[in-house]
């Protein structure tokens, strides 16, 4: 069985979804389900077991809203389209992830190839929450409403609506869908019900993980908090800044706080200045392969995302034996319910997050390995997980 994977991010252990692409392709290859990955050259890709990675675009270091997205999308569509024309006999199955793969879908119909769509989450749900969060904090910042900002906001609106349009096309036309969350499956079924379309085959399959760090928590008096926040609003960066200001910045006196992965450092620094946190916390952009260093130095991971397709950073941190405080998203709702090391909170209740951090400090809460830890580890690393994919793909080819 040979599979063509079409997706934006390259396979890599340096960051979230790239970790999934790398792991799933590697494990499939090892089980004689060889895959080719067509992706955009966004970051550095990892070399791994019999990998075959094809870049559709040149790397863009500075992302411009809408323009970069359209450039990468068009490159990905054209590359996968012409590659499939020239290599149609090589592949039994085509899998596209989220936005990409529209032209390949039409070719699959023409060539009568099996086509599967993988949804991490639905954009429409995310966009609604995103604009509420964005408007809330931009009104507080009271930044000058410049022409540049108006244009940027308009581009964001077009990009998000195009994503939703693209997503709805696939939901309307693809018969075989994969996701990693029961929650996303429910959203897809609700959409199908809304448009009065018969249910598709929707399979929920687990993510595969590779544990990065396995160290004992240190006994420093002042614990370290780590937050992944590529987006100012989506990942809860600004909300966390507001939480840090509570009780006269008390959290900064009992914790070292680092926030990594920020893509818009200019606006991030504006918020840092607005909340008067310039000398109290540290922020960083994309850290790449140095991410392990930040895991190693941390004791607690904070996640305040609006929505998660799974929550890779949460699982990475958990398997690295870190305490987790997270909004009720993704894998928090799926596998970490009532876990002694994972505290789920109401994202809109800033005081709840603050109080939980105070409680962890005062009680000196440490990561506790129990049966649930080994069960989760087994579920995400065991051969059973990859066998679920292989068996589903094989059954799909027989339909």
Q: Domain ranges for the chain, please list them.
A: 2-208+382-398, 223-368
Residue 216 is predicted with a pLDDT of 58
Q: What is the pLDDT of residue 213?
A: 57
**Sign, CA torsion 24/227/289/365:** negative
Question: With bands split at pLDDT 50, 70 and 90, how would you rate the model's confidence at 320?
Answer: confident
pLDDT score for 345: 96
Mean model confidence pLDDT for the chain:
90
SS3 323: strand
Q: Which of 36-40, 79-83, 350-354, 364-368 has the lowest mean pLDDT?
A: 364-368
Angle, CA of 260, 264 and 268, to the nearest 5°? 75
**In this structure, how many other beta carbons lie within 10 angstroms of the beta carbon of residue 98?**
22
Q: What is the DSSP letter of 174?
A: -
In 3-state terms, what secondary structure has residue 35? strand
Q: What does the angle CA 313 – CA 189 – CA 121 come to, to the nearest 5 degrees?
A: 20
Predicted pLDDT of residue 163: 94
**Which class would CATH give 2-208+382-398?**
alpha beta
Q: How high is the pLDDT of residue 49?
A: 83
Q: How far apart are CA 229 and CA 236, in angstroms?
A: 7
What architecture does CATH give domain 223-368? 3-Layer(aba) Sandwich (3.40)
pLDDT at position 138: 82
Which strands form 300-303's sheet, in the order they lie side by side?
282-283, 255-260, 223-228, 300-303, 323-327, 342-345
Question: What is the Cα–Cα distance from 169 to 132, expressed in whole angstroms?
Answer: 25
Give the C-alpha separation, 377 to 332, whole Å: 15
Is it true that 2-208+382-398 and 223-368 share their CATH fold? Answer: yes
Tell me the pLDDT band of 23, cut-offs 50, 70 and 90: confident
Q: What pLDDT sits at residue 325?
A: 97
Burial 132-171 (b: 16+ CB within 10 A, else e): ebbeebbeeeeeeeeeeeeeeeebbeebbebbbebbeebb
| Average pLDDT for 349-374 | 93
**CA-angle at 282, arms to 255 and 12, nearest 5°:** 105
């Amino acid at each position: 069985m040979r599979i063509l994977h079409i997706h934006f991010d390259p396979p890599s252990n340096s960051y979230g979804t790239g970790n999934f692409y790398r792991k799933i392709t590697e494990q499939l290859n090892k089980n004689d389900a060889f895959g080719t990955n067509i992706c955009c050259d966004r970051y550095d890709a990892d070399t791994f077991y019999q990998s075959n990675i094809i870049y559709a675009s040149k790397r863009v270091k500075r992302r411009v809203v809408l323009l970069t997205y359209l450039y990468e999308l068009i490159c990905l569509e054209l590359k996968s389209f012409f590659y499939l024309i020239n290599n149609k006999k090589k592949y039994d199955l085509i899998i596209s992830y989220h936005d990409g793969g529209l032209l390949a879908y039409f070719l699959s119909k023409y060539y009568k190839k099996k086509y599967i769509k993988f949804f991490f989450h639905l954009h429409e749900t995310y966009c609604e929450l995103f604009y509420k969060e964005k408007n809330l904090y931009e009104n507080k910042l009271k930044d000058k409403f410049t022409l540049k900002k108006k244009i940027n906001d308009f581009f964001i609106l077009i990009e998000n609506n195009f994503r939703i349009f693209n997503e709805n096309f696939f939901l309307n036309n693809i018969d075989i869908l994969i996701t990693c969350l029961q929650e996303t499956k429910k959203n897809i079924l609700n959409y199908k019900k809304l448009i009065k379309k018969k249910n598709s085959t929707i399979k929920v399959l687990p993510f595969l993980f590779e544990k990065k760090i396995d160290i004992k928590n240190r006994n420093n008096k002042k614990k370290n908090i780590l937050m992944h926040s590529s987006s100012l609003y989506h990942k809860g960066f600004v909300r966390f800044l507001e939480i840090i200001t509570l009780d006269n910045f008390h959290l900064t006196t009992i914790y070292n706080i680092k926030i990594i992965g920020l893509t818009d450092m200019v606006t991030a620094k504006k918020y840092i200045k607005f909340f008067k946190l310039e000398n109290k916390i540290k922020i960083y952009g994309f850290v790449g392969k140095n991410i392990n260093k930040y895991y190693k130095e941390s004791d607690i991971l904070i996640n305040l995302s609006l929505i998660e397709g799974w929550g890779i950073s949460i699982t990475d941190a958990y398997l690295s034996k870190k305490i987790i405080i997270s909004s009720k998203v993704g894998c928090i709702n799926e596998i970490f319910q009532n876990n002694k090391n994972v505290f789920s909170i109401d994202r809109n209740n800033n005081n709840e997050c603050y109080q939980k951090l105070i409680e962890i400090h005062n009680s000196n809460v440490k990561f506790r390995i129990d049966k649930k830890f080994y069960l989760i580890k087994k579920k995400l690393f065991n051969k059973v997980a990859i066998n679920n994919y292989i068996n589903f793909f094989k059954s799909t080819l027989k339909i």
